[in-house]
């Protein structure tokens, strides 16, 4: 995971998402100061902005730090603050993170995942050959615990995540593509390869 720079709200967002959402919340009598009642599902107007979210963040999953193609249907709008807890944030651009469907599902409504908008680069380390991700051992204990909790919650170190990171680095080492392509396709792998002087 790397720091993700927040992007400006698209011009049509207010009309296509916020106003529709707020109107729906008002007409439904939903109390914005309280968590959603159990079983209540909100209308997914946030999906209207998914193409903009994808374009603004370059198709990079905020949690996995890997590019995915929109045509695969893998893109989703993650509400960093869960809409079940804060319905007033359900239709707010600033609460959205571009996430592949798997990472969005793993994060779910949990609160123990670090916000990609707020972290600094360098909290996570990577063994490039194996793809093993782990907390920076130089971090203060509390922050290291938060990084470890994020890795555990999102399963960032499972076999699939390791394999894809290791493969991206291996493909680069074998000259299948350039360092710039690696940066665009797999920015965390690029960041760690650069930090380790391997580009």
pLDDT (tens place) for every residue of the chain, 199 residues total:
999 999 999 999 999 999 999 999 999 999 999 999 888 999 999 999 999 999 999 999 999 999 999 888 788 999 999 999 999 999 999 999 999 999 999 999 999 999 999 999 999 999 999 999 999 999 999 999 999 999 999 999 999 999 999 999 999 999 999 999 999 999 999 999 999 999 9
Angle, vertex CA 177, rays to CA 174 and CA 180, nearest 5 = 125
Instruction: Please state the pTM of the whole predicted model.
Output: 0.94
The reported pLDDT for the residue numbered 71 is 83
The reported pLDDT for the residue numbered 38 is 87
């Amino acid at each position: 995971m790397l720091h993700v720079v927040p992007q400006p709200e698209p011009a049509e967002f207010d009309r296509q998402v916020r106003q529709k959402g707020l109107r729906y919340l008002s007409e439904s009598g939903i109390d914005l100061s309280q968590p959603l009642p159990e079983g209540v599902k909100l209308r997914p107007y946030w999906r209207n902005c998914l193409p903009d979210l994808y374009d603004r963040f370059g198709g990079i999953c905020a949690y996995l730090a890997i590019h995915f193609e929109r045509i695969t249907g893998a893109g989703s709008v993650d509400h960093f603050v869960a809409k079940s807890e804060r319905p007033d944030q359900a239709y707010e651009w600033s609460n959205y993170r571009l996430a592949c469907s798997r990472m969005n599902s793993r994060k779910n409504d949990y609160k123990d995942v670090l916000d990609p908008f707020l972290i600094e680069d360098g909290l996570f380390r990577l063994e490039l050959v194996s793809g093993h991700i782990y907390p920076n051992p130089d971090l203060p204990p509390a922050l290291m615990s938060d990084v470890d909790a994020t890795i555990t919650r999102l399963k960032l170190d499972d076999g699939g995540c390791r394999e894809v990171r290791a493969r991206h680095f291996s493909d680069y080492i074998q000259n299948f593509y350039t360092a710039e392509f690696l940066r665009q396709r797999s920015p965390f792998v690029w960041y760690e390869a650069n930090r380790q002087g391997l580009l």
